Amino acid sequence: MELKELVAIVTGGGKGIGKTIAEKFYGEGARVAIWDIDLSSAENLAISLDPSGDRTMAVKVDITNEGEVANGTSEVLKKFKRIDILVNNAGISRHRPIEEMSLEIFESVLKVNLTGTFLCCRAVTPIMKKQGGGKIINIASLGGRTGRPGVGINYAASKAGVIGLTQTLARELGPSGIYVNAIAPGPILTEQTKQYPAEVFATWNVGRAIQKDGLPEDVADAAIFLGSARSDWVTGVTLDVNGGILIR
Ligand SMILES: NC(=O)c1ccc[n+]([C@@H]2O[C@H](COP(=O)([O-])OP(=O)(O)OC[C@H]3O[C@@H](n4cnc5c(N)ncnc54)[C@H](O)[C@@H]3O)[C@@H](O)[C@H]2O)c1
């Protein structure tokens, strides 16, 4: 029970990696607020984890919408009275070759992945300061670390931005006891990525040292570490979780 009694928000928690983070956090004893733009997926998960509703809640939050982020934050405070962990997991990708990438497509990915992360960090900061601390975990990507095939320049730029935001926010908030770290997953098998042909998934894994595909659980375990007291001298880092595709 690494997260017993702690209150965690997981953005984009209704599906994919975020869903597994929410499940594993719940299993470690946390009270979990599942935020998603798709309310029904968040509600289904909240109810399936805890039919009594005591330790889970679902809120419709589009992380690009300041009002919805503010409302989600107050809902969590109203129900759970505090916020110990924020996992900024919600993210999208819209890949096009540069000549076909419109300004709208470019900016839409930055808006969710980077601006949305900023808005959620800003919303919890005064609460964590008042409590004397907290842990923010931003889900970046291997694509923000190094040039990758098939990622998209908008996605790569947004995730590199998340890493920069993480480093500087860790300096800014460290004196207030707030930790800010990131996880940079390599290719992870989710319902969505499973739809790609195996050959395509294999191309994303070229050079991998560990002969095992990446699973949402691998990211969730790293998030448990960064959300728990086990990482109490770790801030500003981006933890590579990629089976050794990138070793540096
Ligand atoms: N799957 C991978 O291989 C992989 C690798 C590296 C990093 N990541 C990152 O991990 C995170 C989760 O990825 P995933 O593969 O589980 O994605 P996914 O598409 O399976 O799930 C994303 C979730 O976020 C929600 N969401 C999307 N836009 C939102 C918004 N504006 N506000 C609130 N919720 C929103 C979706 O409804 C969905 O529930 C993303 O940040 C992604 O960039 C994924």
Q: Which CATH number fits the domain that encloses residue 213?
A: 3.40.50.720
- Mean pLDDT (whole number) for 199-217: 96
What pLDDT score does 216 carry? 98
Please give the residue range of the domain that contains residue 107: 7-241
Asked if residue 192 has pLDDT above 90, the reply is: no
Question: Which residues, 6+ apart, have CB-to-CB distance to 52 below 8 Å?
Answer: none
Q: Is residue 131 part of a domain?
A: yes
CA of 175 to the centre of ligand 1 (A): 31
DSSP 133: -
27-84 residue pLDDT tens: 999 999 999 999 999 999 999 999 999 999 999 999 999 999 999 999 999 999 999 9
Q: Can you tell me which residue has the tokens 């970046």?
A: 140
**Is 193 close to ligand 1, i.e. is its CB under 6 Å away?**
yes
Q: Is residue 247 part of a domain?
A: no
Atom number, ligand 1, closest to the C-alpha of residue 185: 6
Q: Residues 144, 156: contact at Cβ < 8 Å? A: yes
**Is 36 close to ligand 1, i.e. is its CB under 6 Å away?**
yes
Q: Is residue 147 part of a domain?
A: yes
Q: Residues 178, 135: contact at Cβ < 8 Å? A: yes
Atom number, ligand 1, closest to the C-alpha of residue 17: 16
Q: Residues 64, 119: contact at Cβ < 8 Å? A: yes
Q: Is residue 138 part of a domain?
A: yes
- Mean pLDDT (whole number) for 226-245: 98
As a whole number of angstroms, the distance between CA 122 and CA 120 comes to 5
Looking at the 3D structure of the chain, how many domains does it have? 1
Ranges of H-type helices in 28-115: 39-49, 66-80, 103-110
Ligand 1 pocket mutation, candidates 188, 200, 215, criterion most atoms within 8 A of CB:
188
171-184 residue pLDDT tens: 999 999 999 999 99
In the structure, what pLDDT confidence band is assigned to residue 91 with cuts at 50, 70 and 90? very high
What pLDDT score does 117 carry? 99
- Mean pLDDT (whole number) for 123-147: 98
What pLDDT score does 189 carry? 97
Q: Is residue 248 part of a domain?
A: no
**Residue in 26, 155, 179, 196 annotated catalytic:** 155
**Is 11 close to ligand 1, i.e. is its CB under 6 Å away?**
yes
Active site residue 196: no
Q: Is residue 100 part of a domain?
A: yes
- Distances 199 to 66, 149, 192 between C-alpha atoms, Å: 40, 13, 15
- Mean pLDDT (whole number) for 145-157: 94
Q: Is residue 114 part of a domain?
A: yes
CA of 14 to the centre of ligand 1 (A): 9
Please, what is the Cα angle at 214 between 238 and 201, to 5 degrees? 110
Asked if residue 188 has pLDDT above 90, the reply is: yes
Q: Residues 125, 133: contact at Cβ < 8 Å? A: no
- Mean pLDDT (whole number) for 19-24: 98
> Can you tell me whether residue 184 is helix, strand or coil?
strand
Q: Is residue 163 part of a domain?
A: yes
What pLDDT score does 150 carry? 85
- For residue 61, the tally of other CB atoms under 10 A from its CB is 32
What pLDDT score does 149 carry? 83
CA of 215 to the centre of ligand 1 (A): 14
**Is 238 close to ligand 1, i.e. is its CB under 6 Å away?**
no
**Is 243 close to ligand 1, i.e. is its CB under 6 Å away?**
no
CA of 98 to the centre of ligand 1 (A): 22
